[in-house]
Structure 1
């Protein structure tokens, strides 16, 4: 009996060591999922997995951009002078009015940051409305398939939600006044073609563009980086998508 117990203990210790070595070599959920056969996900799993990923990605993008400097501190989405007003900025800076131009830029980005958080419920509604065919097409589609889906389904709603918030914020942070000062001074310069830009429309569009840019980054991350798939369900669903595209 003692010999049997000793043998059993040795087997248990050996199994534990082998398991530990295996798990240490699979030091991420990604590696572990590849080592295991997770099988083909059901339609229900695909639906749940993709929607889970999209809710996280859109929520994360919205939260990040709505923080102070979410736009202003992110060079990829920072809102600058409208293209037609670049000459305005350059001229005013050359005249020593750089601080005024900086105030305009800061106020435009603050307005976008105020509006960004309002995107979350719009995206949640769009995700809930997805059919299983929508889900499969997104999962097996291009790397920006989800972003393109959102652009088609939510842009109008985002514009309607963002614009009044941005208009209010532009007034609150002084952007309207700063902009009027900038354009007013520029338009008084002799021989210059007067500029007339719909500021709230411009900032609204740029805010939405920035939002989709960040969502596209999150989408690409979970498609290409298995370590970003934080649950076994996401590993299974996106692992299946990778194999299906091979």
Structure 2
């Protein structure tokens, strides 16, 4: 009986030591990191999202050939798309979709500093909880804190980009062609609002891609701070 108790005690001791070592490791790492330092690490991750992922959206076909963020027609314009294709104007409809994506690509190129400043200015209320949260927790937090302000800054950029890439004329012609089809309901949606919303969604999608990558792949942690901060997540 005494022997069995001793064996059990030894097992508990070793189990406890392993658990204790894990706690010690975590404390030794987290003890030197303040909320501010963790917040800076999260900002670096979001900055990487802009540098490594959002920048891809500014290239030709950055939206149009990226299935994660490609801007499709809004519900109100599906009828336009279907109607034009029925009368043999499928290529014209395709040009209309491409024009929406071109406007987003041009706008993101112009507005990238908006996102950089938004990340720089963001204050993490509880950085450690965000770090130890979901795989997209930092991106979601940025979205919740900045989306309205970013929309207001981004909308006029999109409107200007519509004119620069000729999307406004393309869609004016498309809608006029569609509205001349007999017996259709006339349409004239606010495309600037729609593309602004979709472009912002695309930007946050790509930032999220980078955040998840940093959380899952040690090799993407390209600064000492990123390595130190996200090691806390690994050891939770």
Distance in 2 (CA, whole Å) between partners of 1:205 and 1:150 is 16
- Partner residue of 1:40 out of 17, 29, 37: 29
How big is each residue's C-alpha offset from its partner over 1:188-246, in whole Å with a ceiling of 9 and x where there is no partner?
A: 222212212101111111101111111111111111122211234322211211222xx
Note the residue ranges of structure 2 that are not aligned, 5 or more in a row. 1-24
Q: Quick check: 1:126–1:153 contact (8 Å CA) kept in 2? A: no
TM-score of the two chains, using structure 1 as the length reference: 0.77
Q: Does the aligned pair in 1 maintain the 2:139–2:211 contact within 8 Å? A: yes
Is 1:213 matched up with 2:202? no
Once residues 191 and 133 of structure 1 are traced to their aligned partners in structure 2, the CA distance between those partners, rounded to angstroms, is 56
**What is aligned with 2:5?**
none
Which residue matches 1:149?
141
Point out the more displaced range, 105-114 or 55-64. 55-64
User: Can you give the 5+ residue segments of structure 1 that lack an aligned partner in the other structure?
Assistant: 1-36
Name the Cα RMSD after superposition. Answer: 2.0
Instruction: Summarize the alignment of residues 18-167 of structure 1 with structure 2, pairs less than 5 Å apart.
Output: 39-41=28-30, 42-43=33-34, 45-131=37-123, 133-167=125-159
The number of residues matched between the two structures is: 208
Distance 1:83 1:108, change over 3 A: same
Q: Does 1:239 align with 2:231?
A: yes
Cα shift at 1:123: 3.1
**Length-normalised TM-score, structure 2:** 0.80
How far apart, in 1, do the equivalents of 2:124 and 2:159 lie? 38
> Is this contact kept in 2: 1:111–1:170, CA < 8 A?
yes
